Amino acid sequence: MNLKIQHRNFDIPQAVQRLVEKKAQKVQKMLPTFSDDTLDLHVTLEKIPRGSQYKTSVVLTIPQTAIRVEEIDDNPTGSIQTSFDELLRKIKKFKSQLNREKFWQRQPEAVPRVRTEGVREFENLINQNLDKIQNYVRRELFHRSLAHNIPPGILQPEAVVDEVFLLMTSQEKAKPVNIQMEQWMYQVAREQIDRRLDELDRESLRVEETVAGKPQWEDEVLNFYQPDESLRLEDLLRDQAGGNPELLMEVEETEQQLHKAIARLPRKIRESFVLCVLEGFDPVEVAMITGKDAEKVQKDVEDARRRLREQFHTA
C-alpha cells in the first residue's frame, strides 16, 4: 500500500505517526485480494486554527473507486481512531457489494422464478440481513477453527452465505411462524455451518492439509471484527486509551486477544455470548435461534463474562 501522511498547523509526534501506520496495516489486511501497488492511502492530520480540535481526513483509493472519510475530535488520537473506524466500516460495505456481485456471476442459468410482489418483498428482507449474516459466519468459522483446529481455506465464509441465500430464497414457505426473518437467517446459517463441518469430519480431513494462498486465521480476526460491534467487556478496552496513541495500540492488541479468548470458550457458552453480546439478540431470541432455554442462555452469557474477566484480570 502506498501511504502518504500530511499534517497542517502542528507537528506530528512519532507515536501518532506510528498509530497511523498501524491503522494503515489493518486497512491493507482488510483488502487482501488487491495488490499493494493498486492501493493508495492518503491521511491528512490538521489542527483546526480556531479552537483546540483536530481533524483527520482519509482517502483510500482502490481500483475503480475511492473511499473518503473525515472526522473531528478533541485530540489527534481520537480523530484518527474515529476516522479509521468509519473507513473500515465503509470497506466492509464495499467488500460486501463485491461479494454479492461475484455471487450472482457464479450462478448458472436456471428456470426464472415467478417474482411476485410477495417474492420480491421476501428477497428484500433477506438482502437486508446478508451483511450481518456474513460477518456472523466469518466470526463463527474463526471461533471453530481454533476450537477444532480447522485448516485455513478449507471452508470459505462466502460459500456458506451463498448457500444460506439460495436455501432461503427457494424455501420461503419453510419459515417458522414464531420467528422473525433475521432470527431465521441466523438459525439457517448456524445449521449450514454445522452441516459443512460434519461433512468435513466424516471425510477425515487431516489438519496438515491446507489450501495454498488462503489467509491465515491469525489475520482473520482483523477481517471479521467490526469497529461498531458492542463488545466492551465492562468497558475494558477502548475508553481507557483516551488521547494516548501508544495506549490505544496496546488496547487494540488486547482487543484482538479478547476475540481469540472468546473463540476458546466452550461452544455452548460461546454461542450464547456471541449471539447476545456481539449480534445483539436478547436471551429469548437466542433461545429461538438455538433451541435452548432463555434462562440457560442468560446463565451462559454470565458464565462467559466471568471467564473472560478472570482471564483478563478485570474487576
What pLDDT is stored for residue 190 in this prediction? 92
Q: pLDDT-derived band of residue 283, with 50, 70 and 90 as boundaries? A: very high
C-alpha cell at 296: 440457560
Fold of the domain built from segment(s) 2-102: Double Stranded RNA Binding Domain (3.30.160)
The top-scoring range by mean pLDDT among 36-50, 92-106, 122-136, 164-178 is 36-50
Percent of the chain with pLDDT over 90: 26
Is residue 214 scored above 80 in pLDDT?
A: no
Same fold, 2-102 and 225-315: no
239 vs 283 pLDDT, higher one: 283
Instruction: Name the least confident of 34-48, 197-211, 280-294.
Output: 197-211
**Domain map (residue ranges) of the chain:** 2-102, 114-213, 225-315
pLDDT confidence tier of residue 211, bands split at 50, 70 and 90: very low
Ranges 107-116, 141-150, 177-186: which has the least confidence: 107-116
Mean pLDDT of the 277-297 span: 92
Q: Report d(CA 289, CA 160) in Å as an integer.
A: 17
* 289-to-96, 190, 198, 230, 265 alpha-carbon distances in Å: 24, 9, 19, 20, 19
pLDDT at 229: 43
Is residue 213's pLDDT more than 60? no
Least confident interval from 192-206, 220-234, 265-279: 220-234
Indicate the pTM of the whole model.
0.60
- Between 4-8, 91-95, 201-205, 282-286, the lowest mean confidence (pLDDT) is in 201-205
Band of residue 187 on the pLDDT scale cut at 50, 70, 90: very high
pLDDT at position 287, please?
93
Architecture field, domain 225-315 = Orthogonal Bundle (1.10)
Supply the mean pLDDT for the chain: 77
pLDDT in tens, 71-118: 999 989 989 989 998 998 888 778 766 665 555 555 554 445 555 666
What confidence tens digit (pLDDT) does each residue in 229-252 have? Answer: 444 444 444 444 556 777 666 666
Q: Is the pLDDT assigned to residue 225 strictly greater than 60?
A: no
Spatial distance between the Cα atoms of 256 and 83, rounded to a whole number of angstroms: 20
Average pLDDT over residues 57-70: 91
Q: Average pLDDT for residues 114-124, to the nearest whole number? A: 66
CA distance 153 to 206: 13
Pairing mode of beta strands 2-8, 40-47: parallel
